[in-house]
Structure formats: C-alpha cells, structure tokens
Amino acid sequence: MIMIAPQDEPAPGNIKVTRWDWINLALRTLISDGIESVRVLPLGQKLGVSRSSFYWYFESRQDLLDQLLAHWRDTNTRALVERAQRPAESIIMGVMNVFECWADERLFDPRLDFAIREWARRSDDVRRAIDQADNDRLGAIRDMYRRHGYDDEDAFIRARVLYYMQIGYYVLDLKEPVEARVSHLAAYLRSFTGQEPSNAHVAHFMRFIAAR
C-alpha cells in the first residue's frame, strides 16, 4: 500500500500518534474492511489513544474520509496521468511508461483503487470522484496516443482497451505475478500499439522490473 510519509505537524506535548498514523491506519482499514469500518472509536482503540487525539488533527470523520480520497487522487491518478504525459520517443516507450504503474504498487495501488470503487457504491460524491479520475486517466492515455500520430477515434479506443483491460485485472482479482505478465510483454506492446517492439524495448522494461 502507498503510505503517507510523516511530515512536520503541530502536536500536543506528549503525543502517542500523529496525523499520519491516523490516515495510514484508516487507509489500511478501508482496503481490508471497507468504508463502514473507518470509524473514529475503533481506529483510536487500535492506535491505543482516545478520541481527543483524533480531533486534534481532524474536524470530523468526514474530514478524515475527504483526506483518504485526496490521497487516492494524489497517488493513483497522479502517477498514471504523469506517466502518460511523460515525453517518449515512440508509442511503445509511451505505453511502457504507463505499464510502470501496473508493475509497481508503490506508484499505483490496485487494492486502494478497488476499495475506492467499492466505496463509490455507497456514496454519490465518491462515484463522481471515480468518474472524474477515470476520465482524467483515459484522457491522458488518449492524448499520449494522439501525440504519436493516432487519429482521434483510434486513440480513444486504444486508450479504453489499455485502461479497461488493467482495471479488469483488478476487478477480477487475478493472481498473476508481474513476472508472468512481463513474459508476454512484446505481445502486449504489439496489441496496444500495432507496432513491433524491439528486443531493446523489452530489455528496457525488464530493467525497470529488476530495479523495483
């Protein structure tokens, strides 16, 4: 899971936990047990502190939930959009930039994404946030294809195929190791770009996998 690193923050004298402890435990709880389990009293009991610690950092439970949603936007969506926008010498390199998110959960946490989608079933506001994130992600991938010469419709469909395929992997909860998937890397690149990847392309991505 993508954790929030501690930063400087005001705190009362002899404090046991920080704001980031509350947020990280809330993220873990959201992923493991769902949004209904993200509640102040049980979280405080797990952290061994009283409610007063919570209200030092957050105005309300909704404030905490809003920060969980902001964290998801600032990690999963930002990483995917950034990599789709990254300059690349070819569409094959561009697609491999996006593949970095699928291959490294420090960049894109699929369990968090799935938990947010489950939360959206119970909240219209979160549903709208999901829709906006999907549009932003798809738009960035579509524009990546456009930059490499694909016409509007082709870029739109290829972006959908690339993005929805990966989201489908997560929804189906497929237990395929990254190493197994990258053994088919050349075929995936051929399917997503219509171009033939070179051995150098494959070697480039394998170096990324090895360096994770």
Instruction: Spell out the per-residue pLDDT of the chain, length 212, in tens.
Output: 666 655 545 445 446 899 999 999 999 999 999 999 999 999 999 999 999 999 999 999 999 999 999 999 999 999 999 999 999 999 999 999 999 999 999 999 999 999 999 999 999 999 999 999 999 999 999 999 999 999 999 999 999 999 999 999 888 888 888 788 889 999 999 999 999 999 999 999 999 999 98
Name the CATH architecture for the domain at 14-58. Orthogonal Bundle (1.10)
Kindly report the number of other CB atoms within 10 A of residue 56's CB atom. 17
pTM of the model: 0.89
Helix (H) or strand (E) holding 80: helix 78-85
Residue ranges of the domains in the chain?
A: 14-58, 69-211
How far is residue 72's CA from residue 34's CA, in Å, rounded to a whole number?
15
